[in-house]
Structure 1
């Protein structure tokens, strides 16, 4: 079976970073992805896709992405359900990110970002990140391989 999703879009708001009770980082955000066609009035529509990133990738997304940032990502589609406060079943479809590329120039990212400033995207994705790494992320220009 194949379950792969590749998206490029812009964040509609800043990522929300939380930690599970066991200390695992999880970031959630919504990516607006333009459709390839226009509607009957000639306007281009977009799909708003919920994204979830875990562990170190979650912390990187929270530190380097903000509302309006352009990002490319690869992941898998996941559907889950839960019962809300009224007892109704709610179904959620989201993309669990395995790899995220930050496509916006550094000036469009958070002010404290220390990545090199140019128009190329930087791939900070991890396929198998450390399970319990909750250290603060401090990346200097000298630490980057490019």
Structure 2
């Protein structure tokens, strides 16, 4: 089985930081990813999709302290589906991306910047968790 996602986009809001009962930091963010394509009439169109991202542990600490709205990032991770029941008894679900690596590509003022030739010291692979028990999934 393979469950890998790689996206390049811009943060749509400042990261939100919270802590699990274990004390591990969780940082949530949202990115906008645009694509250009030709429609059936041959006209160029642009479509933007929005994705919710979560990061844990050391990566979450760095994301929470170093990124803000407008930054361009590349995210590598996997899809996860949260399932819950609403107060009215409806079964609900939402797909999100759990980040394993996040690299800074550009700052908000760099709207037309090309990706940096080297990644800034932001990404931390998931292997940097203390142990498998530290990963909350």
TM-score for both structures, normalised by structure 2: 0.78
**1:79 CA displacement:** 1.2
Match of 2:93 in 1: 91
Q: Which residue of 2 aligns with 1:60?
A: 62
**Counterpart Cα distance in 1 of 2:90 and 2:17:** 27
Q: Which has the higher strand share?
A: 2
C-alpha distance in structure 2 between counterparts of 1:59 and 1:38, whole Å: 40
Alignment match, 1:135: none
Q: Does the C-alpha gap of structure 1 residues 63 and 42 become closer, same or farther in structure 2, counting only changes over 3 Å?
A: same
CA shift at 1:68, angstroms? 0.8
Give the direction of change, closer, same or farther, for the CA distance of 1:72–1:84 in structure 2 (3 Å limit): same
* Equivalent position of 1:6 in the other structure: 6
- Which residue number in structure 2 is paired with residue 19 of structure 1? 19
Please identify runs of 4+ aligned residues in structure 1 that moved more than 2 A: 38-43, 84-87, 123-127, 129-132
Question: Is the 2:36–2:44 contact (alpha carbons within 8 Å) kept by the matching residues of 1?
Answer: no
Whole-Å separation in 1 of the counterparts to 2:49 and 2:76: 16
Q: Distance in 2 between matches of 1:68 and 1:97?
A: 18
Question: 8 Å contact 2:10–2:69 — kept in the other structure?
Answer: yes
Structure 1: tracts of 5 or more residues without a match: 109-118, 133-146
Do the aligned residues in 2 keep the contact of 1:15 with 1:65 (CA within 8 Å)? yes
Alignment root-mean-square deviation, CA: 2.3
Report the equivalent of 1:81.
Answer: 83
Q: Mean Cα displacement is larger for which, 24-33 or 123-132?
A: 123-132
